[in-house]
Amino acid sequence: MREQAIRDPLTGLYSRRYLDDILPPELQRCAMSGEPLTIAMLDLDHFKRFNDGYGHEAGDSVLRAVGQALRKAMRGSDIACRYGGEELTVVLPGATLGRARRRLAEVQGVLTSLHLHHRGQALPAVTASIGLAAAQPGETASALLGRADAALYRAKAQGRDCIVAADRPRSTLGQSPASMRVSAQAAN
């Protein structure tokens, strides 16, 4: 029962409910240890074409294949979740923005190299737009997800199939990483 509650049955990824449960304590753990944490929001580009052009079964087939590819491409500590529809979220504990960008660029390569077929018919290539946000001291889970989502929308506006990093929240602009760590430790 627990597995059914935390896993998305179609993709095999963790569910959004699981993400909502684990992200706040994961943020707190990383803040206390000084370990970086980056969130990635992925949206499968032009996903509607799979459902409209080939049927919903084809769309489901694409989601299953993407879930499997994402599970294989992630480190054991990464947490890949189906956020909703064709939108996915990956929590990357211990990953700086630069490392996360490199890892997600590899994921993009894996996705575009998928050769999917449905009922004997080749499906179009799968691409993904990605928004990244590095957690800032004292930032809530919803604020972090919101920044990653805003970066995702910028990626889509820039032509899709690209990775865009979120801006830092205004409260941390101009602070050095060391002063942000001190602020986070003082808050705890």
Residues with catalytic annotation?
Answer: 86
Residue 35: exposed, middle, or buried by beta-carbon count in 10 A (0-12, 13-18, 19+)? middle
3-state secondary structure the chain: CHHHHHECCCCCCECHHHHHHHHHHHHHHHHHHCCCEEEEEEEECCCHHHHHHHCHHHHHHHHHHHHHHHHHHCCCCCEEEEEECCEEEEEEECCCHHHHHHHHHHHHHHHHCCCCEECCEECCCCCEEEEEEECCCCCCHHHHHHHHHHHHHHHHHCCCCCEEECCCCHHHCCCCHHHHHHHHHHHC
